[in-house]
Amino acid sequence: MSRVPKLLIINGPNLNLLGKREPDIYGQQTLEDIETILSSRYHPHRAELEFFQSNVEGEIINKIHEAHALQLSGIIINPGAYTHYAIGIHDAIKAISVPAIEVHISNIHAREEFRQKSVIAPAAIGQISGLGVKSYMLAIEYFLLD
């Protein structure tokens, strides 16, 4: 029997306001709702999930740096607004050997021009966007394939 993957799911700035923040774009689900959905579907038998949210770039970088100590199989990151300019998060992902997948609830490529560019994507093994909570699910499913 193969080892259950251990995944860190990081959510960046303003995602703590899901359910209140622009529900026409981000939906009615709160971040807690999303974590509950993912936990009930995957944890603990299919994947070991750890959730982390911060509005502070340095805290996200520090959490990424802990990847080896946490013995992670992968990182799933929704960098929020940091997607578009946080070179520090890009560099942190590049500095570790743990694979990361960038996810977004909304389709960033169909939004304002400044939201269409990701500085995180080149450091990640893939990007999934526009599918709501299913973006997270598809990223988890990727790590379950091994």
Query: How many CB atoms neighbour CB 60 within 10 A?
Result: 25
Q: Which of 90, 104, 136, 142 is catalytic?
A: 104
Of 26, 42, 136, 142, the active-site residue reads 26
Q: Is 26 a catalytic residue?
A: yes
Identity (one letter) of the amino acid at 53?
A: Q
Placement of tokens 């709501």 in the chain:
132
Give the Cα separation of 144 and 146 in Å (integer). 6
Catalytic residue status for 136: no
Q: Which residues participate in catalysis according to the annotation?
A: 26, 104
